[in-house]
Amino acid sequence: MDETQIASLLKSSDIFPLPQSLKLSYGTAGFRGDASLLDSTVYRVGILSSLRSLKLKPSTIGLMITASHNRVSDNGIKVADPSGGMLSQEWEPFADQIANASSPQELVALIREFIEREEISIGGGGDVGEVWLGRDTRPSGESLLRAAEIGVSSVSGCVAVDKGVLTTPQLHWMVRAKNKGLNATESDYFESLSTSFKCLIDLIPVKKLESSKLVLDGANGVGGEKMEELLRGYLRNLDVEVRNTGRDGGVLNESVGADFVQKEKVVPLGFGVNDVGVRCASFDGDADRLVYFYVSSGDKIELLDGDKILSLFALFIKEQLNTLEGKLSRLGVVQTAYANGASTDYLKGLGLDVVFAKTGVKHLHEKAAEFDVGIYFEANGHGTILFSESFVSLLVGKQKDLSEGSDEYNAVSRLVAVSNLINQAVGDAISGLLLVEVILQHMGWSVQKWNELYKDLPSRQVKVEVPDRTAVVTTSEETEALKPLGIQDAINGEIKKYKRGRAFIRPSGTEDVVRVYAEASTQEDADSLGDSVAQLVKSFLGSG
């Protein structure tokens, strides 16, 4: 790193001093916190993204300004690697270090040491690193994006490209496409989704059900807006009414959106008794999560969460794979400890390989990629289907030898279309919604019929505010707490009191809380188990 580069970093980092006593951790999906404190963090992640781009040259990296499901006053950053997936976990410790560097000098020293270790050449001329920036609709997004731009361009040879307001999965999709040398604009994204959606609709053998209206809760965020754009410009015949677009004064994620609906299991604002029985869906703030629901009565809903979406997808994919001659593929599904026990039983009953990963799509994605077709979903609605490149090539090759219109030909065509429809980079509420819609039409199922695949075990989730959530340390699968000492024995004591009782605690990686999950054979028992475990958390860790 030459003197000019050092001077440039020192100068730009002076503009963004680290707020006093700010301690950040990369967390489940990148840095998050109160937006007013994040300028220095975003600027520094801008530098990191440039270094990543230079390291993996020639490649484009994505940097998304979003705090997803968190409240509107928060913001954060997600980084997309050239594959479109999350930033490699190997770089997270460096991200933590630079985000917490207390002075420009310390920051530069850390960068210098890192680029030497990683053998990244800066400013050698020729190599241009590129970072694509996107943001959600949060009011703080624009100024944070400017800080990211300064960070990116303070590394010699690197440029920032502002892609404007996007959903997180759109940016991941675009980064993946760009690095594969494909067309990578937002309209290419819409085009790819709508073309494969129409292809799947055309492949429905017999229309068993008239398509009915879907009502979408856009969480007052970017997803509703983008869904409307897709409907207006590409899928005019799809009957979707979008509510909670944010245009009518609603607040992002406040009593709306996938996180709210999935955790509270009540109707979001803007929905009510007039919607009883209607098929509804919710996105989260940056549209990487999707859940379905229908209003049963009053403010009560029947929730079809990520587990149920996973089950629907698994059933459909399995049906297509079974139609192919010969054993061509390994299909697997990935869940987390939050998966409802009934869903896991159902998936195992289908004869599927079910594996578990830690919370966080980065962990699930990695495991799903080990299969030819790997489906992963978190119960909160974040998930997708990964097709290995070799399997897609095999399908495309096979298609040429089959007679058009045969069952096998149609099954192969459906699988290829699904691989184009469903976002291969990351969980994507828009593409997930389109796939759910087409599968329901294919099966001839209403949302109620879909819900009957299995009955969820009653569950309860509680957030507990504590002085220091990092005092909770869990096993790698997050099902047992190793610290504070003694808490797991106390939790086990509570679990024993309930039929089909199951509970665990873990520190959130996106909010300053400890999460409690409880499951039991009745709702009353699940509530009671959840409350008593929350009490244990408070008594071991104190109240926040």
Annotated binding-site residue numbers for substrate: 378-380, 506-510, 515
Contact between 78 and 69 (Cβ < 8 Å): no
Task: Report in angstroms how near the CB of residue 308 gets to ligand G16 at its nearest.
Answer: 16
Task: Report in angstroms how near the CB of residue 322 gets to ligand G16 at its nearest.
Answer: 31
Marked catalytic residue, from 13, 40, 68, 156:
68
**What would the DSSP string read from start to end of 378-396?**
-TTS-EEEEE-HHHHHHHH
Using a 10 angstrom Cβ sphere, with 0-12 exposed, 13-18 middle and 19 or more buried, the burial of residue 112 is middle
Provide the annotated binding site for Mg(2+).
68, 284, 286, 288
Place of tokens 């039929």: 499
CA distance 478 to 379: 15
CA distance 391 to 395: 6
Interior angle at CA 29, CA 23 and CA 33, nearest 5: 40
CA distance 321 to 82: 30
**What is the distance of C-alpha 180 from the center of its chain?**
22
CA distance 250 to 269: 9
Name the nearest CA neighbour of 43 among 69, 10, 21.
10
Task: Report in angstroms how near the CB of residue 307 gets to ligand G16 at its nearest.
Answer: 13
Place of tokens 């869903």: 343
| Residues in contact with 400: Cβ distance below 8 Å, sequence separation at least 6, in sequence order | none
Does the CA dihedral 499-493-259-198 come out positive or negative?
A: negative
Task: Choose between 163 and 289: whose C-beta lies nearer to ligand G16.
Answer: 289
Task: Choose between 55 and 265: whose C-beta lies nearer to ligand G16.
Answer: 265
Task: Report in angstroms how near the CB of residue 355 gets to ligand G16 at its nearest.
Answer: 16
Task: Choose between 35 and 361: whose C-beta lies nearer to ligand G16.
Answer: 361
DSSP assignment, residue 68?
Answer: T
121 is catalytic: no
| Residues in contact with 68: Cβ distance below 8 Å, sequence separation at least 6, in sequence order | 29, 32, 76, 78, 136, 168, 284, 285, 286, 288, 289, 510
CA distance 356 to 368: 10
CA distance 417 to 108: 47
Task: Choose between 284 and 437: whose C-beta lies nearer to ligand G16.
Answer: 284
Q: What is the dihedral of CA 142, 145, 146, 150, to 10 degrees?
A: 180
Q: What is the dihedral of CA 90, 94, 99, 104, to 10 degrees?
A: -160
Query: What values do phi and psi take at 416, rounded to 5?
Result: -65, -40
Task: Report in angstroms how near the CB of residue 28 gets to ligand G16 at its nearest.
Answer: 4
Task: Choose between 69 and 460: whose C-beta lies nearer to ligand G16.
Answer: 69
Residues at the interface with ligand G16 (CB under 6 A): 28-29, 68-69, 284, 288-289, 359-361, 378, 380, 382, 508-511, 515
> What tokens appear for 539 in the block?
């008594």
Task: Choose between 115 and 148: whose C-beta lies nearer to ligand G16.
Answer: 148
Task: Report in angstroms how near the CB of residue 174 gets to ligand G16 at its nearest.
Answer: 18
Task: Report in angstroms how near the CB of residue 426 gets to ligand G16 at its nearest.
Answer: 8
Task: Choose between 341 and 509: whose C-beta lies nearer to ligand G16.
Answer: 509
Q: Helices in 234-305 by DSSP H: which ranges?
A: 257-264
Provide the annotated binding site.
68, 284, 286, 288, 378-380, 506-510, 515
CA distance 65 to 222: 12
**What would the DSSP string read from start to end of 402-450?**
SPTTSHHHHHHHHHHHHHHHS-SSS--HHHHHHHHHHHHHHHT--HHHH
Task: Report in angstroms how near the CB of residue 509 gets to ligand G16 at its nearest.
Answer: 3
Task: Report in angstroms how near the CB of residue 395 gets to ligand G16 at its nearest.
Answer: 29
Active site amino acids: 68
